[in-house]
Amino acid sequence: MSFKAYFTQNKQKDLEQGLEKTKSGLFDKFKSLFLAKSDIDSDLLDDIEQILLSSDIGMDTTIKIIDALSDKIKSEKYNNLDELVLKLREVVEEILAGKFSEAVYPNFSQKPHVVMIVGINGVGKTTTIGKLAYQFKESGKKVVLGAGDTFRAASVEQLRIWANRSQVDIIEKGQDADPSSVAYDTMHAAKARQADIVLLDTAGRLHNKINLMEELSKIKRVMSKVIPDAPHEVLLVLDATSGQNAINQAKEFLKATQVNGLVLTKLDGTAKGGVVISIADQLNIPIRYIGVGEQIDQLQRFDAKTFITTLFSH
């Protein structure tokens, strides 16, 4: 089974269930609004703006959406909720058009393909690595994990559990080991074992005075000494339940390290899934994967059009 096939099969139901809280909140508010109003005017647009903001789409992106929707209203006539929501969906699709394509996903031409996973503690970084490892393994890839988050208590143990569950190799040196040393050993092991993919965990914070971002840069330098151009990807994991704070977290990481893609976790646990739209618009970094449930196969590839269609279906 190919990488693409595994990450796209039977995912629509999971996506619908994962977005249920956001969808319910969004359309319950729309229905209440349209029961109370009969005319499409500036007041209605103000109310729609508040609904979008309550779904955590964010002020800048919401204003962009409302301005575009207003332009459409001036040139076209809408008679009911369904028609207006359809145009709202079209506006969001237009805003995100061209930001995502199949090209953002790696073709794994480089072997091993090295992915460094970054993000603050508590966003689901280790769990994301475990789920990715499992799904890559199921798609026929040979995977090696690197336990580079050596400062958080039990982090190495948690990753070891995921490695065993996914039946993939793990390189570890225990808690408080030098993360760069773990990265170095992981690169050598991956080459020796002819791995297809390396997933390297990193610290969300450090207990000592070393700047976290400086440590991440050091890890990247060490890896490239063993495997030129490594890491080939840097994935930043963000917690969707943190809403607009996720964007602030991303901006802090972007100040210090290049990020090639985003992973948004815990979408099933929030009614503010609209943050995905805001993140896509404001950060202009491809969203690679989204977490829509706790099961090992409920981390799925992100498709912007499918996401928007699902979010605005009712």
Q: Which two tokens stand for residue 196?
A: 């297809």
Residues 174 and 216 in one domain: yes
pLDDT in tens, 136-157: 999 999 999 999 999 887 899 9
pLDDT band at 209 (very low <50, low <70, confident <90, very high): very low
91 falls within a domain: yes
Cβ atoms within 10 Å of 236's Cβ, excluding its own: 26
CATH number for the domain that contains residue 123: 3.40.50.300
Q: Which residue has the higher pLDDT, 189 or 45?
A: 189
Rounded average pLDDT over 4-33: 74
Please indicate, yes or no, if residue 273 is contained in any of the structural domains: yes
Sign of the torsion formed by the C-alpha atoms of 218, 224, 226 and 232: positive
**Same structural domain, 91 and 138:** no
Domain match, 127 and 251 both = yes
Residue 45's domain comprises 12-96
Query: Which contacts of 77-82 are long-range, i.e. CB under 8 A and separated by 24 or more positions?
Result: 78/40, 80/34, 81/30, 81/31, 81/34
Same domain assignment for residues 161 and 20: no
Could you say which of 96, 119, 139 is where a domain stops? 96
pLDDT at 31: 74
**Ordered DSSP codes for 147-208:** ----SSTTHHHHHHHHHHHHT-EEE---TT--HHHHHHHHHHHHHHTT-SEEEEE--SS-SS
pLDDT, position 197: 96
- What does the pLDDT look like over 169-189, one tens digit per residue? 999 999 889 999 999 999 999
Can you give the CATH number for the domain in which 72 is found?
Answer: 1.20.120.140
Both 150 and 298 in a single domain? yes
In a domain, 3, yes or no: no
Is the model's pLDDT at 295 over the cut of 70? yes
**Domain assignment of residue 125, yes or no:** yes
Q: Are residues 129 and 266 in the same domain?
A: yes
Tell me if 221 is assigned to some domain.
Answer: yes
Are 68 and 211 within one domain? no
According to DSSP, the β-strands at 287-291 and 299-301 are: antiparallel
DSSP designation for 263: E
The pLDDT confidence band at residue 207, using thresholds 50, 70 and 90, is very low
In a domain, 170, yes or no: yes
Domain tally, the chain: 2
Domain boundary among 35, 62, 96: 96
H/E stretch holding 35 reads helix 20-36
Of 96, 125, 148, which closes a domain?
96
pTM for the full model? 0.89
**pLDDT above 70 as % of the chain:** 87
Q: Could you tell me if 249 and 270 lie in one domain?
A: yes
In a domain, 265, yes or no: yes
Give CA–CA dist 168/130, Å, rounded. Answer: 10
> In this model, does residue 312 exceed pLDDT 60?
yes
